[in-house]
Amino acid sequence: MSAQTALWLDDGNFIIAPKDTPHPGSGEVLVKNLVAALDPLDWVIRDYGFYMVKEYPAVIGEEGAGVVEETGDGVTTLVKGDKVFYQSYLTNRCPTFQHFSVIPVELVGKVPDTISLDQAASISAGIAPPALGLYAQQPQGLDLLAPWEEGGKGKYNGQPIIVVGGASSLGQYGYLGATHIIDRKLPAASFQEQVAKITSAPVELAFAAICYPDTQQALYDVLAPEGKMIVTRRPEAVRKEGDQKMVHFVNGSFHLPGNKEFSSRFMRALTRMTADGEIKTPAVEVIPNGLNGVVLGMERLKSESVSGKTLVVHPWET
């Protein structure tokens, strides 16, 4: 088996080193990673570990775009050379901080000619948590009627929803069309006052793309008595006795067994919506030097100096 180049994480440090190139199994595709997007989870894994990373040294990287290099048995929807985007899974065959990844074909989307591979690389991991949290079946999600399903478009017009971290990659992919902006760093009382100035309607739904304890609490406190809040990290808001509010943790991975059926259907809709221009990708900044640029990008994400755009690297420029 030929060797490829990968960015390995071991004991909190990254090194560039060779790695065997896998072959796709039945129902899988081998993708040549031309673009890998960075995510705040990358530095969290490096600094604190993550329960889904079970073997070290580890290759990480949650989303990317590239071209199909090889198809496994039974794959009929993609052929070698197709441009695709995908979310990875955190086993060493799948992540994107390497030259090649193996991905289940049903979780791969085709890149339309209307967007670049750089833009496409930012789609999957950013859109997965809001899509799964809002629209997947219970208990994975809230089972709301999705806008791409019959009768879903416009169903929730006029109902307020708050997104904390709307400028983040997660917050921008909520299909939410923000009409007002509030500084999430305001004191809790000021945050509630600003919400009250914008709407007198009860806030039945909220999505915390940024999940610090204080932001979770401020969002929780502004919810209606039976409101629902989606969080992407461990729930930390303090609940009052007798509260009927729901705090729902979403695991934003398309690959988990409980998410796969929904994710397969969603990826078909996502491919169509991307081609039709219904999905707007955030601005992209390319960090030079291939995989050698990943650590620099992680530090910028950790310091919260990135807003309104996605950082990407080109692995083959390593």
Q: How far is CA 211 from CA 2, 10, 207, 215, 309, in A?
A: 42, 27, 9, 6, 19
Domain boundary assignment for the chain: 3-122+281-317, 127-249
Check residue 178 and give its pLDDT.
Answer: 63
Predicted confidence pLDDT, tens digits, the chain (318 residues) = 589 999 999 999 999 999 999 999 999 999 999 999 999 899 999 999 998 899 999 999 999 999 999 999 999 999 999 999 999 999 999 999 999 999 999 999 999 999 999 999 989 888 899 899 999 999 999 999 998 999 998 898 888 888 886 555 555 554 455 677 777 777 778 888 888 888 889 999 999 887 788 888 988 999 999 999 999 888 888 888 888 999 999 988 999 999 999 999 999 999 999 999 888 888 899 999 999 999 999 999 999 898 888 999 999 999
H/E run at residue 285: strand 283-286
Q: Are 253 and 89 in contact (CB under 8 A)?
A: yes
DSSP secondary structure of 23-79: ---TTEEEEEEEEEE--HHHHHHHHH--TT--SSSB----EEEEEEEEE-TT--S--
Check residue 125 and give its pLDDT.
Answer: 81
Q: Are 38 and 294 in contact (CB under 8 A)?
A: yes
- Three-class SS of residue 274? helix
Q: Comparing C-alpha atoms, which of 102, 140, 87, 78 is closest to residue 25?
A: 102
Check residue 173 and give its pLDDT.
Answer: 59
Check residue 240 and give its pLDDT.
Answer: 83
pTM greater than the 0.85 cutoff: yes
Architecture of domain 127-249: 3-Layer(aba) Sandwich (3.40)
CATH class assigned to 3-122+281-317: alpha beta
Q: What is the pLDDT of residues 166-197, one digit of tens each?
A: 555 555 554 455 677 777 777 778 888 888 88
Q: What is the pLDDT of residues 195-245, one digit of tens each?
A: 888 888 999 999 988 778 888 898 899 999 999 999 988 888 888 888 899
